[in-house]
Amino acid sequence: MEILETSLELVKWGMLSGIFLGISVSFTGPLLVLKKNALFPHSLTHVLFLVIILVSVITQFLPEFFYYPLIILLTLLSVSGIWIFKKFQALYEDTATSIITHLALALALIVAATNSQYDLRLFSYLFGSLLTVTSKEVYESLIILILSVLLYLKFKGIWVAQTVDSEVPGVNFKFANLSFLFLITLQTLIGIRILGILLVSSFFVFTSVVALKISRSFGRVIILTAFLNLLALIGGFLISFIWDWPFSASTVFFMSLYFLILLIIKKGF
């Protein structure tokens, strides 16, 4: 018990940040699934991998203040490559996403291999760790949660409309889409610190799909996704504590159990 208390003390910032992120993601994850764009956060993590390396190199010559704005700006520019490929090469969205994902990964490896100066933060970004999360990131994730709620309230009608209509008279989808993209980028950036680049995209997809399968209305989907995310964080922590597994992998493993339960319930009834 004492060990558990000590562990909790060590990971308290990480858990708190995870809780805020879990709730925040529940506003965007279900929409991504409905837009048949569930692989987008996966692509985003690869783009972020490249951008973080680039910015780590650049910020050696710039003040720390520029770190996050540069990451967000470069990420948004890079993911717009998906749109460019889709529009000008007339490709399917998933094909364009795949191209950008692999291109970003390849470039990231080239930059990493040719530059030994990049930030040590990269290792925690790759695999995630509750221990590396500080109070600063808790505040950041809280801000993102507040931003998620505000943007959801502002654009709810348009975001939901896009899952059933491709065009609505007098309704401009562009600004709402850009806000959605901006929000997902921020959520992914924070999520990377906890779950790592390799697994953060699972946070957007697993619980959203389960919630979408069993909820009738969008309001219930959000509540259920948030609840399942929190449960997964606690479950993931306990599994990693008991069996000494990596936290990020334990959390994803725990989330996969939801599908098993869903399958059993469906078969049972």
Partner 1 sequence: MSFAVIKVENLNFYCKNQTVLRNINLEVNKGDFLALIGPNGGGKSTLIRCILGFIKFQEGRVWLWNQKNSEFKEWFKIGYVPQRAGNLIDHLTPLTVKEFIFLPAHWYSKKVHPKRFELLVKKFGMENLLNHKVGELSYGQLQRAYIIRALILEPELLILDEPSVGLDFFTQEVFYHTLGEFHQKGLTIILVTHETWLLTKWVNKVACLNQKLFFHGDHESFCIFAKKPEFLSACHQIEHTHW
Residues found near partner 1 in the complex (CB under 8 A): 30, 33-34, 156-158, 160-161, 163-171, 209, 212-213, 215-218, 220-221
Q: Which is nearer to partner 1, 20 or 155 (CB)?
A: 155
Q: Which is nearer to partner 1, 34 or 54 (CB)?
A: 34
Q: What angle do CA 75, 77, 79 make, to 5 degrees?
A: 65
Query: CB of 91: closest distance to partner 1 in angstroms?
Result: 17
Q: Which is nearer to partner 1, 185 or 208 (CB)?
A: 208
Query: CB of 148: closest distance to partner 1 in angstroms?
Result: 18
Q: Which is nearer to partner 1, 123 or 259 (CB)?
A: 259
Give dist(CA 43, CA 58) in Å, integer: 23
Query: CB of 87: closest distance to partner 1 in angstroms?
Result: 13
Q: Which is nearer to partner 1, 49 or 152 (CB)?
A: 152
- Yes or no: say if 128 and 194 are a contact pair by the CB < 8 Å rule: yes
Query: CB of 82: closest distance to partner 1 in angstroms?
Result: 19
Distances (CA, A) of 26 to 30, 139, 175, 205, 212: 7, 19, 21, 10, 11
Backbone angles phi, psi at 165, to 5 degrees: -135, 140
Q: Which is nearer to partner 1, 125 or 204 (CB)?
A: 204
Measured in whole angstroms, the distance separating CA 137 from the mean position of its chain's CA atoms is 15
Q: What angle do CA 130, 131, 133 make, to 5 degrees?
A: 70
Measured in whole angstroms, the distance separating CA 213 from the mean position of its chain's CA atoms is 21
Q: Which is nearer to partner 1, 116 or 166 (CB)?
A: 166
Backbone angles phi, psi at 134, to 5 degrees: -115, 175
Query: CB of 151: closest distance to partner 1 in angstroms?
Result: 15
The two three-digit tokens of residue 90, written as one number? 């007339």
Query: CB of 147: closest distance to partner 1 in angstroms?
Result: 20
Count Cβ atoms within 10 A of the Cβ of residue 139 and give its class: 0-12 exposed, 13-18 middle, 19 or more buried.
Answer: middle
Query: CB of 35: closest distance to partner 1 in angstroms?
Result: 9
One DSSP character per residue, 35-61 reads TT-TTHHHHHHHHHHHHHHHHHHHTTS
